[in-house]
Structure 1
Amino acid sequence: MDKPYGEEKTQSSAPDFEELSRNMARFLEGATKATTAYLKPLEERGAPPEIASDASEAIRTLGRVAESWLSDPQKSLEAQARLGSQFLDLWASTLKKAQGEPAEPVAEPEPKDNRFKDPEWSENPVFDFLKQAYLISSRWAEDMVEEAEGLDERTRHKAQFYLKQISSALSPSNFLLTNPELIRETIRENGANLARGMAMLAEDIQSGRGELRIRQTDPSNFKIGVNIAATPGKVIFRNDLIELLQYEPTTKQVLKRPLLIVPPWINKYYILDLNPEKSFIRWAVDQGLTVFCISWVNPEAQHAEKGFEHYMREGIFAALEAIEQATGEKKVTAIGYCVGGTLLAVTMAYMAAKRDKRIDSATFFTAQVDFTHAGDLKVFADEEQIRTIETQMKKRGYLDGSHMANAFNMLRPTDLIWSNVVNVYMKGRAPTAFDLLYWNSDSTRMPAANHAFYLRNCYLENKLAKGEMELAGVKLDLKKIKAPIFNLAAKEDHIAPARSVFLGSKAFGGPVDLVLAGSGHIAGVVNPPNKQKYQFWTGGPVEGELDDWLAKAKETPGSWWPYWFSWIEKQAPKKVPARSPGGGKLEPLCDAPGTYVLAKA
């Protein structure tokens, strides 16, 4: 009788060749399904143009680096000699180790590099050699890009980014025969791990309709509106672009001034409402705020022409009008997260030009208004690549959600791509249930007009910061925004780098309270007080460079949320009886989280 599929061996012994053959048959069956799932969509639409475009752009960029070195033969020889010398040292060290003599390593991984934590990477001379050879080669290549002469900074930045993708992919930890842990696992399980992994690979290619969508969590454990995005509330307004959620109060009194949250449309709003313990929305309600939140539509082809002006008018303006009907309040305080913050700043600049003061103060969560230091995402925003994206969007009317998901994963390829490839498809381990990664995989599309405007005006030409952006015939000037600003940056943010947010703080015309949170783009924001994680810095006026400001700033352990609420409360402390959805002129349409958030990309 066959052993259960994937049963682990309980003792160290030679492989069970009968079981190994059965598992290899399962592996080949999964490989056939994966190949079929990949090829079937290609028969319908042809080779994916974005793959060819990305590869050619990487080759062209790295070719510029090679040209720089080949133009100076002497310098090129010196670089090759430096690499050769390190490998001679490694060979000598390996021979000593093989003979049982102590030997200092030539190259060691960074302390946070988890790829080489298995003891055999250091104890076994063969795997130690592979590890060090990889580290020496990848670091030498990084130096070659850094030291290449005659490169403009944009080209150098792109070369560094593409090299990071290549070196992450070529790590010996990613391959069965060069990873001691994978070899042990495969022998112990007689190949069952590979069979399970290939089956999951086929499933993930099928779910991606011919493209691999790497599974990062187990989605079966989450249901939107039940154990995620579950803060009680109602949809009180709906149009072609938004559903507006109003949440049930939990206090008898609330601050008179309502709160409007403008989330990013690149992902769904419930990053701020993952579960009761992590939910910023639930916490804000518990502090006595009347909370409204926009839930953006997941665009289809009919939304192709919806641009930034539509997102301003049918998004933020429509929400302001609905809030006035629901509460009687003309003025609100607003939060904009990531690109939602960029839209909020654009809207406030437009309102300032029109002398519209309905947004009385604003908070920005890791949002950029000056894109000078916008980080690795700028790699995807040169003229040629934007034209390619625009051509792709014209075919469908939108940018598929997987495109942005892949771009975000490429910011941290070792952690977000290759660790999952190894754990899921080689070790055959289904990922655990994790609400943050469930949200991360629940991607959304971007309307063609909106995304093209964003890429060109912000990432490519930085028009908002320069005072050159126009919307609805109005030239936008951030200096005209006099309302108080709470600007949150995250110290380890890869998407809206802290240096970028810091520079953007200087663009506004009114008082700015800059706060620097520990951790990154998500954990720096979603950091509830009860967890007592990370820390935040406050430091008064935004002057000089970020490092200068940080050197003088005050560090406070724990969450910045209470500090933010005190900032909100001081501006408008008046309280009124709590407001329930439906208490004003707008009747609830359905329960939160509504219908738009349920649409899948």
Structure 2
Amino acid sequence: MTWEDQRLMDGSLSPDFSGPTANAGSAKPSPASPRWLEVPFTGDMFEAFRHELPAKLDHHAHAMVGKLMGGFSPISVMGSYLDWGTHLLFSPGKQMQVAFKAADKVRRLTAYAQQLTASNATDGLCIEPLAQDRRFRDESWQTWPFNVIHQHFLLTQQFWHNVITGVPGVRPQHEALADFLTRQALDTMSPSNAFFLNPEVLQRTMEERGENLLRGVLYFWDDTFRQLSGRRPAGHEAFTVGENLAATPGEVVYRNHLIELIQYAPTTEEVRLEPILILPAWIMKYYILDLSAENSLVRYLTGQGFTVFMVSWRNPGAGERDIGFDSYLEDGALAALRAVNEAVPEADVHLAGYCLGGTLAAVAAGYLSKREKTGLASLTLLAAQVDFEGAGELSLFISDSQLTFLEDLMEEQGYLDKQQMGGAFQMLRSNDLIWSRGMRHYWLGERRPPNDLMAWNADGTRMPARMHAEYLRRLYLDNELAHGRFDALGQSISLSDIDAPIFAVSTTKDHVAPWPSVYKIHILSDTDVTFVLTSGGHNAGIVSKPGHAGRTFRIRTTPHDAKFQTPEAWEAETEEQDGSWWLAWTAWLEKRSGDPVLGRQPRLVEIAGNDLTQTEKAPGSYVFQL
């Protein structure tokens, strides 16, 4: 096939090009004949056209639909409802049960309204909101008629949950996805979102004579213009990376195409012998563990006498589309470990990973376990999963259909955009992150100043197409790591080979890595596991500085030869303590560290592959990539 033939076929050369053809030499074709006739259509071209065009059509169709649907698969959604609907159609017993449920809810709501009419008071509500549902906590929702309105809404939500769930024969994932999407649709119709049905909004509007609505309109336009122009959200100007975020003193001592390695300056005269290397998640910027000075885990660790290294990931673009999970292991985790071993050759390393970084740290530990000397003193997993079977509602969007659309979308872009990724996480907590926020900002006219964690959360990153596809398909969908089928760098990874002691932290309200899922490290490992269950969510539970009001945690060490306990039994038998888990972790690390040595100043790591010729001030340059 000639160069012109190939360019014609893939569309980079227009069929009516002017210039020499494959067989015409330098003679120009006659203007009287169509230009595309001058290009010979060979047998090779036909075969390539016949085999490649259908795949390209599918690819572009999936990518286009993926963009319109925000990366979600409409087929997955339709399949879930079709599975539910057809099984419900052939389940007369379930239909009867649903009818009884509907009649009971009508009876309860009618009795509740009659009580209110008779005495303006009741013995209690028809239905209590879920513990995490804060939409109707204001006392104004207990006044007539808003008490009946919000009770009707909650009963309706419960009714549809009864309708969707428990239908015989429906696949569990289809049932869960249909239930989730139905709940999302109902949440859009919540009375808390409607001006004339929300007593808080009506009362505020009367008190301020509509000024709250005027502020809300101004806030709406400001937020819209900021988003369209790519500017930071309002109030985030108060936080600047390198000044009051990611500001712990240190130096970038190693850099390659994927990571920068930061070594933080000591703040004590003596430090522990073993250094700490932290692998943060590459789904967001690294500095969630180095927020403002009072919320920085890094600053706390250096204050406790530890030498701390932190990986800062590159923010990939389309040019990094082919960087896969093996690259994140070889050029990320293992490269950072080699650099730390060169900087501190006299000691093993306390390896720690947060979220996706924790999964990568576990894979790295499993990979190193095949060697005589792993170089690891311990392994710490912070809100990190190694078994993805019970990965929470995020796994509802992980199916073959979903990944097909997402992979084609990423292949066309070269990456998963931060807005597309953030949309999925917002859906998991739509009441708090979308509807309640919108009501506060635009109806009540309230704009609360952001904190450091909110500023970090708005500083998103992209995900390379290949790495993200491999991560979702191999770990989330196929659960290869937990099933012993995960290969990395040509080597089979088994978590049971890890002999370093493990410190695993989970949070009670984690919607990304539910704590029973994190707890499965007890099953998959064959070493001593110290497990911590702390209050808070996926981010706020980890950023849990000492002295934070209301923080509690449970901690217990399970020896490698102990009998397995279920998560529920472990929780029931483990005493809850007040305070921050940070103190328990540093005490655990101290017991597994050698005698103190003089504080180590950051210095350039002189090993092959380091793109630096001299150190650079933390937080480096990768964190500033847009």
* Distance (whole Å) between structure 2 residues aligned to residue 579 and residue 587 of structure 1: 20
Q: Which amino acid aligns with 2:326?
A: E
3-state SS of 1:386 partner:
helix
**Is 1:261–1:335's contact at 8 Å kept on the other side of the alignment?**
yes
CA deviation after TM superposition for structure 1 residue 587, in Å: 6.5
* Distance (whole Å) between structure 1 residues aligned to residue 404 and residue 385 of structure 2: 23
* Structure 1 alignment gaps of length 5 or more: 1-44
Moved more, 561-570 or 300-309: 561-570
Question: Which one has the largest radius of gyration?
Answer: 2
* Cα distance change of structure 1 residues 187 and 214 upon mapping to structure 2, 3 Å threshold: farther
Moved more, 70-79 or 252-261: 70-79
**Is 2:67–2:409's contact at 8 Å kept on the other side of the alignment?**
no
* Cα distance change of structure 1 residues 518 and 47 upon mapping to structure 2, 3 Å threshold: closer
* Distance (whole Å) between structure 2 residues aligned to residue 512 and residue 131 of structure 1: 46
* Distance (whole Å) between structure 1 residues aligned to residue 573 and residue 457 of structure 2: 35
Q: Determine the structure 2 residue equivalent to 1:561.
A: 582
Match of 2:134 among 114, 120, 123: 114
Match status 1:598 vs 2:624:
yes
Q: Determine the structure 1 residue equivalent to 2:601.
A: 580
Match of 1:231 among 237, 248, 258: 248
CA deviation after TM superposition for structure 1 residue 267, in Å: 1.2
* Cα distance change of structure 1 residues 73 and 532 upon mapping to structure 2, 3 Å threshold: closer
3-state SS of 2:520 partner:
helix
Deviations 1:180-222 (A, max 9, x none): 22223334445443343344334434444499x996x721211
Match of 1:94 among 113, 136, 139: 113
3-state SS of 1:120 partner:
helix
Match status 1:427 vs 2:444:
yes
* Distance (whole Å) between structure 2 residues aligned to residue 108 and residue 524 of structure 1: 26
Q: Determine the structure 2 residue equivalent to 1:571.
A: 592
Q: Which amino acid aligns with 2:199?
A: P
Q: Determine the structure 1 residue equivalent to 2:265.
A: 248
CA deviation after TM superposition for structure 1 residue 553, in Å: 2.0
Q: Determine the structure 2 residue equivalent to 1:183.
A: 202
* Distance (whole Å) between structure 2 residues aligned to residue 112 and residue 474 of structure 1: 43
Match of 1:546 among 564, 567, 571: 567
Query: Please, what TM-score do these two structures have when normalized by structure 2?
Result: 0.83
Q: Which amino acid aligns with 1:283?
A: Y
Moved more, 359-368 or 537-546: 537-546
Q: Determine the structure 2 residue equivalent to 1:282.
A: 299
Q: Which amino acid aligns with 1:113?
A: D
**Is 2:392–2:514's contact at 8 Å kept on the other side of the alignment?**
yes
* Distance (whole Å) between structure 2 residues aligned to residue 389 and residue 52 of structure 1: 5
Match of 2:495 among 478, 484, 491: 478
* Distance (whole Å) between structure 2 residues aligned to residue 118 and residue 232 of structure 1: 45
Q: Determine the structure 1 residue equivalent to 2:36.
A: none
CA deviation after TM superposition for structure 1 residue 368, in Å: 0.6
* Structure 2 alignment gaps of length 5 or more: 1-63, 607-611
* Distance (whole Å) between structure 2 residues aligned to residue 101 and residue 563 of structure 1: 52
Q: Which amino acid aligns with 1:597?
A: V
* Distance (whole Å) between structure 2 residues aligned to residue 112 and residue 313 of structure 1: 41
CA deviation after TM superposition for structure 1 residue 334, in Å: 0.8
Q: Determine the structure 1 residue equivalent to 2:25.
A: none
Match status 1:83 vs 2:83:
no
Q: Determine the structure 1 residue equivalent to 2:179.
A: 160
Match status 1:174 vs 2:200:
no
Q: Which amino acid aligns with 1:540?
A: T
Q: Which amino acid aligns with 2:144?
A: N
Q: Determine the structure 1 residue equivalent to 2:148.
A: 129
Q: Which amino acid aligns with 2:192?
A: S
Match of 1:145 among 123, 148, 164: 164
Q: Which amino acid aligns with 1:474?
A: Q
3-state SS of 1:530 partner:
coil
Q: Which amino acid aligns with 2:179?
A: Q
Match of 1:344 among 346, 353, 361: 361
* Cα distance change of structure 1 residues 107 and 551 upon mapping to structure 2, 3 Å threshold: closer
Q: Which amino acid aligns with 2:567?
A: L
3-state SS of 1:362 partner:
strand
* Distance (whole Å) between structure 2 residues aligned to residue 573 and residue 524 of structure 1: 29
3-state SS of 2:69 partner:
helix
3-state SS of 2:387 partner:
coil
CA deviation after TM superposition for structure 1 residue 138, in Å: 0.2
3-state SS of 2:311 partner:
strand
Q: Which amino acid aligns with 2:602?
A: P
* Distance (whole Å) between structure 2 residues aligned to residue 55 and residue 175 of structure 1: 28
CA deviation after TM superposition for structure 1 residue 269, in Å: 1.3
**Is 2:212–2:443's contact at 8 Å kept on the other side of the alignment?**
yes
Deviations 1:47-95 (A, max 9, x none): 9322484566445423433333222345324423431342244235324
3-state SS of 1:538 partner:
strand
* Distance (whole Å) between structure 1 residues aligned to residue 417 and residue 511 of structure 2: 22
* Cα distance change of structure 1 residues 102 and 497 upon mapping to structure 2, 3 Å threshold: closer
Match of 2:314 among 297, 303, 317: 297
Deviations 1:217-258 (A, max 9, x none): 721211111111111111111111111111110011111211
Moved more, 422-431 or 379-388: 422-431
* Distance (whole Å) between structure 1 residues aligned to residue 97 and residue 344 of structure 2: 72
Q: Determine the structure 2 residue equivalent to 1:31.
A: none
Q: What pairs with 1:48-67 in structure 2 (closer than 5 Å)?
A: 48-51=67-70, 53=72, 57-67=76-86
3-state SS of 1:540 partner:
strand
* Cα distance change of structure 1 residues 150 and 93 upon mapping to structure 2, 3 Å threshold: same
Q: Which amino acid aligns with 1:164?
A: R
Moved more, 46-55 or 161-170: 46-55
Deviations 1:159-190 (A, max 9, x none): 23223322322211011121122223334445
Match status 1:196 vs 2:215:
yes
Q: Which amino acid aligns with 2:309?
A: F
**Is 2:290–2:299's contact at 8 Å kept on the other side of the alignment?**
yes
Q: Determine the structure 2 residue equivalent to 1:17.
A: none
3-state SS of 1:292 partner:
strand
Q: Determine the structure 2 residue equivalent to 1:497.
A: 514
Match of 1:404 among 418, 421, 424: 421
3-state SS of 1:167 partner:
helix
Deviations 1:128-172 (A, max 9, x none): 221111011001111222322211222222223223322322211
* Cα distance change of structure 1 residues 160 and 312 upon mapping to structure 2, 3 Å threshold: same
* Cα distance change of structure 1 residues 206 and 383 upon mapping to structure 2, 3 Å threshold: farther
* Cα distance change of structure 1 residues 93 and 328 upon mapping to structure 2, 3 Å threshold: closer
Match of 1:328 among 339, 342, 345: 345
Moved more, 233-242 or 47-56: 47-56
Q: Which amino acid aligns with 1:79?
A: V
* Cα distance change of structure 1 residues 60 and 169 upon mapping to structure 2, 3 Å threshold: farther
Q: Which amino acid aligns with 1:140?
A: F
Match status 1:267 vs 2:297:
no
Deviations 1:367-422 (A, max 9, x none): 11111211111111111111111111111111001122222222222112211111
* Cα distance change of structure 1 residues 478 and 93 upon mapping to structure 2, 3 Å threshold: closer
Alignment identity in percent?
Answer: 36
Query: Please, what TM-score do these two structures have when normalized by structure 1?
Result: 0.86
* Distance (whole Å) between structure 2 residues aligned to residue 478 and residue 342 of structure 1: 11
Match of 1:308 among 296, 302, 325: 325
**Is 1:539–1:550's contact at 8 Å kept on the other side of the alignment?**
no
**Is 1:258–1:329's contact at 8 Å kept on the other side of the alignment?**
no
**Is 2:254–2:605's contact at 8 Å kept on the other side of the alignment?**
no
CA deviation after TM superposition for structure 1 residue 479, in Å: 1.4
3-state SS of 2:312 partner:
strand
Match of 2:390 among 365, 373, 378: 373
Q: Which amino acid aligns with 1:568?
A: L
* Distance (whole Å) between structure 2 residues aligned to residue 48 and residue 197 of structure 1: 30
